[in-house]
Amino acid sequence: MVEMLNNTQKSSTNHSGSLCPAHNSPERPKHNQTASMYDWDSETQGWILGAFFYGYILTQIPGGYLASRCGPKWLLGLGVLGTVLFTLLTPLAADLGANYLFAVRVFEGIGEGVTYPAMYTMWAAWAPPLERSRLFSISYIGGQLGTVIALPLSGEICFYLDWTYVFYIFGAIGLFWFILWSFLAFDSPNTHPRISEEERIYINASLKDELAVSTNNIPWRAIVTSRPLWAIVVAHFSFNWSFYTLLTLLPTYMNDILGFSIQQNGMLSALPYLGCSIVAVLAGQFADYLRETCLYSTIRVRKAFTIVGMLFPALFLVATGYTGCNYILAITFLTLSSSLGGVASSGFNINHLDIAPSYAGILLSITNTFATIPGMVGPVIGRGLTRHNTLEEWQSVFYIAAAINVLGAFVYTLFGEGKVQPWAIRTSSSHEK
């Protein structure tokens, strides 16, 4: 977005209008001036940044339902393939106009919306209970590592080529991923042709007391009235508000406030997500150690990790707004905020698998539906509050995200649970449908 705008191209430094003194960066090669640029105001930028989530929210619950009924492999694979195809069409849509770009982003979200429900459904069939935290956290950081790679690489691509190649290159990588997924992924241990019989028996035996006898009749009434589920909903919504605030607006903050060029911007914008990836993996290992070796109850571990993963990020996010032009301190606080957020991956974020493994994909689809709302409204509100790009305006953005984070941690601590719910371990009767 930063590179696509006319008002960021006033000089070769690409940040002449920043609040803080610009930082030295290499002079841009002339050949990267060929891509189109656009006169989009802050409001239009906010709508485009949030467009993805308008499609993303539509396929959460259908994705969870289809994953439980039809299996997660092809649902996830075809969903990502759809997103890839619209990614490749993004430069054309941008040239046609902001409305076309908005529509393409919505369709990307529709394809991507089935990803996490399918992933949770797959882990419900693959992850032994005492290995869930570390297995889930390893797969969960894929989204973080993707950001770690994509942000600096996007900066380099924009610098040496132009912004259109970001979409072409990542689209091509997505096509290659789909081919690998088609041949290597399987819905469950029982359908995998290459794992050992010993491993198959071990996984199935570890899950036999947790999975429902049948998933043909989904207990919708029990699900939507479950207090532990709504505790996760509030926590997930709150956590995603700050996460999406950083994901969509951090490059703008780097450019407009701290004065970093597009090349520097990508590298520094990736630091918070690198920290989050590392912490998430370590937290997953530690959470399973506490449950398996130290015999701490599941809910104590989930609540403790949620508190750490939401309160401390809120603190450092607020502190970022008071660093002024001290960019080293600002990047440090933003990195600490995002990194500590990785602890929550072994808190509320995996709790769906604890309370209803048979319906984990459906539960995730419900919580992620609500948790997508911040992605839809957060960028619009954020850009609306920062029309003049003052530190005071950005402080308001950080305060709002932090306050919502604290609220989510408080609600989850009060109402979260860690045991499999009764409605999740028996065959549903017809009146529960």
**pLDDT, tens digit, 9 for 90 and up, residues 65-97:** 999 888 999 999 999 999 999 999 999 999 999
| pLDDT reading at 248 higher than 80 | no
Please answer whether residues 18 and 390 qualify as being in contact, where contact means their C-beta atoms are separated by less than 8 angstroms.
no
Of residues 13, 314, 70, the one with CA closest to residue 215: 70
Percentage of residues of the chain with pLDDT beyond 70: 90
* Cα–Cα distance measured from residue 242 to residue 338, given in angstroms and rounded to the nearest whole number: 9
* Cα–Cα distance measured from residue 344 to residue 313, given in angstroms and rounded to the nearest whole number: 10
What is the CATH classification number for the domain harbouring 403? Answer: 1.20.1250.20
Of residues 135, 147, 120, 130, the one with CA closest to residue 281: 135
Q: Are residues 157 and 195 in the same domain?
A: yes
Residue 242 lies in a domain: yes
Res 426: pLDDT: 58
Q: Are residues 351 and 402 in the same domain?
A: yes
* Cα–Cα distance measured from residue 258 to residue 253, given in angstroms and rounded to the nearest whole number: 7
Question: How many Cα atoms sit within 13 Å of 398 on the Cβ side?
Answer: 24
* Identity of residue 306: T
368 three-class SS:
helix
Please answer whether residues 74 and 186 qualify as being in contact, where contact means their C-beta atoms are separated by less than 8 angstroms.
no
**pLDDT, tens digit, 9 for 90 and up, residues 189-245:** 999 999 999 999 999 998 886 665 555 678 899 999 999 999 999 999 999 998 888
Q: Are residues 162 and 260 in the same domain?
A: no
Res 10: pLDDT: 37
Res 15: pLDDT: 45
Q: Are residues 283 and 162 in the same domain?
A: no
* Cα–Cα distance measured from residue 433 to residue 420, given in angstroms and rounded to the nearest whole number: 19
Q: Are residues 175 and 251 in the same domain?
A: no
Residue 388 lies in a domain: yes
Residue 18 lies in a domain: no
- End residue of a domain, out of 167, 187, 210: 210
Res 264: pLDDT: 66
Of residues 279, 277, 255, the one with CA closest to residue 268: 255
| pLDDT reading at 2 higher than 50 | yes
Mean pLDDT over residues 149-169, rounded? 88
**pLDDT, tens digit, 9 for 90 and up, residues 251-270:** 778 778 888 765 666 677 77
Q: Are residues 180 and 300 in the same domain?
A: no
Mean pLDDT of the chain: 86
Q: Are residues 269 and 192 in the same domain?
A: no
**Least confident interval from 175-184, 206-215, 289-298, 327-336:** 206-215
**pLDDT, tens digit, 9 for 90 and up, residues 14-73:** 444 567 777 665 555 545 567 889 998 888 888 898 899 889 999 999 999 999 888 999
Q: Number of structural domains, the chain?
A: 2
Please answer whether residues 50 and 377 qualify as being in contact, where contact means their C-beta atoms are separated by less than 8 angstroms.
yes
Name the residue range of residue 94's domain.
38-210
* Identity of residue 134: R
Mean pLDDT over residues 347-357, rounded? 92
Res 430: pLDDT: 41
* Identity of residue 162: D
Confidence of residue 11 (pLDDT cuts 50, 70, 90): very low
Q: Are residues 269 and 378 in the same domain?
A: yes
Q: Are residues 117 and 259 in the same domain?
A: no
- End residue of a domain, out of 166, 183, 210: 210
Q: Are residues 100 and 202 in the same domain?
A: yes
- DSSP letters, 305-321, are HHHHHHHHHHHHHHHHT
Q: Are residues 234 and 359 in the same domain?
A: yes
Res 31: pLDDT: 52
Res 35: pLDDT: 84
Residue 22 lies in a domain: no
Res 12: pLDDT: 37
- End residue of a domain, out of 162, 189, 210: 210
Structure tokens at 372: 């997508």
Q: Which residues of 165-177 are buried (b: 16+ CB within 10 A; e: fewer)?
A: bbbebbbeebeee
| pLDDT reading at 110 higher than 60 | yes
Residue 8 lies in a domain: no
Q: Are residues 202 and 327 in the same domain?
A: no
Residue 166 lies in a domain: yes
* Cα–Cα distance measured from residue 189 to residue 195, given in angstroms and rounded to the nearest whole number: 7
